[in-house]
Amino acid sequence: MSGEAIFQMERAKGASIGATIAGFFGGAWLTLGMASAGVPWGVAVMAVLPVFAVIAFLGAAVRRRLPNIDEAETPEKKQMMRAFGMVNVAQWLAIFGVANVLANLQLNAWIVPAIVLIVGAHFIPLARIFQAPQHLKTGIAMMLCAAIAVVLPTSIRDTVECVSAGVILWISAAAALRVAFRMVPRALASA
């Protein structure tokens, strides 16, 4: 199997996994946004669950269409996954650290926008790591969403931030699925 075919398959697989992850977190943000608007938790979960199920199903469909390849893990792939892990560890440490500092300073109204900003910022290095321009767009959109919090009244800030972050992530998931489905025929043709 050619190196190009393997690259196409890895890219399709990665995009489908990324779509599923973005779909999950998009659903979580939307659930939090609806709950902050007064929608009961159960109703909010039931509203987002079918969309997440479709995203997860489509991601799995992409992976099922790809042939199994037994390729040795390259040093480049190991380095890429190590960088991915470091970005995610930094993201979670920043989220917990900033949330703790804001809570101790009695600035709880800024915790959600700060988390949206951090999550958006974590997409910037991921765009380079995975050579995925969509991550850059997702990161910028989320950071702009966080910046909008400055002008939002406190009464609606968390709702707007959470719903906006969820919608951005679901759009990102749809874009990743589109990339994945487009890559599968190329991967199969190259193989």
Other C-beta atoms closer than 10 Å to the C-beta of 150 total 9
Q: Which two tokens stand for residue 42?
A: 């159960």
- What is the pLDDT at residue 11? 87
pTM over 0.75: yes
- Predicted pLDDT at 187: 58
How do residues 1-32 score in pLDDT, each as one tens digit?
667 777 788 888 999 999 999 999 999 999 99
What pLDDT does 117 receive? 98
Q: Which residues in the chain come in under a pLDDT of 70?
A: 1-2, 70-72, 186-191
Phi, psi of 136 (to 5 degrees): -65, -45
Question: Could you give the CA distance from residue 64 to residue 18 in angstroms, rounded to a whole number?
Answer: 15
Helix 111-129 with 133-148: angle, nearest 10 deg: 160
DSSP character at residue 33:
H
